[in-house]
Amino acid sequence: MTYMGHLVLPAVEPTELPVSGGGSFPVRRVYCVGRNYLDHIREMGEADERDPPFFFQKPRDAVVPDGAHVPYPPFTSDFQFEVELVLAIGLQGSDIAVEDAFDHIWGYAVGIDLTRRDRQRDARDMKLPWEAGKSFDASAPCGTISPARDARHFNGCAITLSVNGVEKQRGDIGQMIWSVPEIVAELSKQMELFPGDLIYTGTPAGVGAVGPGDLISAHIDGLPSLTITITPREA
Ligand code: MN
């Protein structure tokens, strides 16, 4: 849409992520899968392991790249990491069939779903929305995107996260309850997907808390690593 006249405030900055081999991926929306590895559902004490997947969003400007310094956020004393495979959508679609889903994936990346676990537990216990626990500034670190033509399909690939060099999470992408194409198909029943959408696909067991000074490094076989540093809370 076009309005007459000038912007009354500076334009909102776009969010872009680097692509391995060159270029930038423009980010449109950030979707996340709520539960997708049995061992993590069990460590969280969640009830039904066969529930259909559910989705939530983080703000686009919560995305920060590899090497980011992430200030310890306000409104939590239990700030936790979740390593996840991220799908980068390159083709519009709704009601996408499972067998067509790979056509819609432009690339892959390693992501960390940063979480205020205390606020997420409040949401569960008090039946509140998830935003306070999940959708805050810098809560969506995402590594360099690897184009799908260069990436394997990830069944059998290790997904790991370490804090200060000590491994905390280790899983296998093949352990996902809902596979990569099933996630694309399910989400596209709820929301029309567009180029630039990111989908964080859930985390294996081993989530835990971090604090200022901690170095978090996340890896998935075949993808560029993602490393971030937690810094003291901003004044
Ligand atoms: Mn997550």
- So where are the chain's domains? 16-231
**Positive/negative CA dihedral, 124, 70, 80, 217:** positive
In terms of phi and psi (left: phi > 0; alpha: psi -120 to 50; beta: otherwise), the region of 11 is beta
Ligand 1 center–CA 37 separation, angstroms: 10
- Tell me, what's the pLDDT at 33? 96
Of 26, 61, 1, nearest in space to 194 by CA? 26
Ligand 1 center–CA 85 separation, angstroms: 10
- Tell me, what's the pLDDT at 4? 76
Give the span between the Cα atoms of 203 and 120, in whole angstroms. Answer: 15
Ligand 1 center–CA 118 separation, angstroms: 14
Tally of CB atoms within 10 A around 111: 27
Helix (H, G, I), strand (E, B) or coil at 45: coil
Of 73, 87, 30, nearest in space to 223 by CA? 87
What one-letter code names the amino acid at 123? A
Pair of tokens at residue 2: 């076009």
Ligand 1 center–CA 203 separation, angstroms: 5
User: Please, are residues 79 and 209 in contact by the beta-carbon 8 Å criterion?
Assistant: yes
- Tell me, what's the pLDDT at 234? 75
Ligand 1 center–CA 84 separation, angstroms: 7
- Tell me, what's the pLDDT at 102? 94
For 77-90, the DSSP string reads S-EEE-EEEEEEE-
DSSP 203: -
Ligand 1 center–CA 151 separation, angstroms: 22
Looking at domain 16-231, its CATH class is alpha beta
Give the span between the Cα atoms of 81 and 163, in whole angstroms. Answer: 10
Report, as ranges of residue numbers, the positions in the chain whose pLDDT lies below 50: none
Give the span between the Cα atoms of 216 and 193, in whole angstroms. Answer: 30
User: Please, are residues 105 and 90 in contact by the beta-carbon 8 Å criterion?
Assistant: yes
Give the span between the Cα atoms of 77 and 62, in whole angstroms. Answer: 19
User: Both ends of the chain: CA-CA distance in Å?
Assistant: 39
DSSP H or E run through 188: helix 180-190
Ligand 1 center–CA 1 separation, angstroms: 35
**pTM, rounded to two decimals:** 0.95
Give the span between the Cα atoms of 64 and 82, in whole angstroms. Answer: 15
Ligand 1 center–CA 83 separation, angstroms: 7
Ligand 1 center–CA 55 separation, angstroms: 10
Ligand 1 center–CA 104 separation, angstroms: 22
Strand partners, 216: 163, 228
- Tell me, what's the pLDDT at 150? 56
Ligand 1 center–CA 218 separation, angstroms: 14
Ligand 1 center–CA 113 separation, angstroms: 5
Give the span between the Cα atoms of 107 and 25, in whole angstroms. Answer: 10
Strand partners, 163: 166, 216
